[in-house]
Chains A and B, each alone.
Chain A
Amino acid sequence: GNSVTQMEGPVTLSEEAFLTINCTYTATGYPSLFWYVQYPGEGLQLLLKATKADDKGSNKGFEATYRKETTSFHLEKGSVQVSDSAVYFCALPYNNNDMRFGAGTRLTVKP
């Protein structure tokens, strides 16, 4: 079945640093791919998604490109802010009614 493998955290960066969080997937066919973000004490928010190979999802300065050659969907941001401190989950659909999540990567950005 579909699954994702996400880099282990935690990740600690200084403000304005470059961020990469790696995500690789195993899937039948070419499902949509997602990044969700969970800020402290909150639920999950959809950060971005890509629906087909070579698509780039982007939002709030974050980007991820759906790469079927490397089965990857790495999350990047050129300059992180303290407010980006959160847990980030890579995800893809599983069966018709579920989502498979990566383990989550906790990002802490220090001023």
Chain B
Amino acid sequence: DTEVTQTPKHLVMGMTNKKSLKCEQHMGHRAMYWYKQKAKKPPELMFVYSYEKLSINESVPSRFSPECPNSSLLNLHLHALQPEDSALYLCASSQTGGQGTRNTIYFGEGSWLTVV
């Protein structure tokens, strides 16, 4: 069964706080992703890790810092966020990052972030 699990499901943080979002997959996938989704919009890619190496950073501000401790885990460290960063943050994984046009990306349930 495909499953990407994310914690926490909801997070409220102040602009001076440091927090982290966590993601785990046990499908043996070697590519993991962070997407950001604002209300009524499609997801937008933030970061891609392929074989535990950061392969894509879509010009994301440095207040977002990804980390891939191993092939099953992906973290997103948050620091000094702004209210406009409030959104749904989706973790995802796929078999490899190099399957190109056959790649199927599987998403987690998301972490709802509110910055106050």
Contact = CB atoms under 8 A, between A and B. Distances in A.
Interface string B27-52: 00001010000001111010010100
A99 B108 contact: no
Interface stretch (A14-22, A28-36, A65-73): A28-36
A98 B102 contact: no
Contacts of B31: 97
Nearest to B101: A31
Contacts of B106: 46
B8 interface: no
Nearest to B97: A97
Contacts of A95: 100
Contact of A96 (B6, B103, B109): B103
Interface string B55-88: 1100000000000000000000000000000001
Question: B48, B103, B106: which has the most chain A beta carbons within 10 Å?
Answer: B103
Given A42-B110, A101-B43, A96 B104 contact: no
B43 to A, nearest CB: 6
A43 B109 contact: yes
Interface residues of A, number: 27
A92 B41 CA distance: 16
A97 B96 CA distance: 9
A35 B60 CA distance: 27
B14 interface: no
A29 B102 CA distance: 11
A96 B98 contact: yes
A108 to B, nearest CB: 14
Contacts of B90: 43-44
Interface of B: 2, 6, 31, 33, 40-43, 45, 48, 50, 55-56, 88, 90, 97-110
Given A29-B101, A103-B41, 20 more contacts: A32-B101, A32-B102, A32-B103, A42-B109, A43-B88, A43-B107, A44-B43, A44-B90, A92-B101, A93-B103, A95-B100, A96-B97, A96-B98, A96-B103, A97-B48, A98-B45, A98-B48, A103-B42, A104-B40, A104-B42
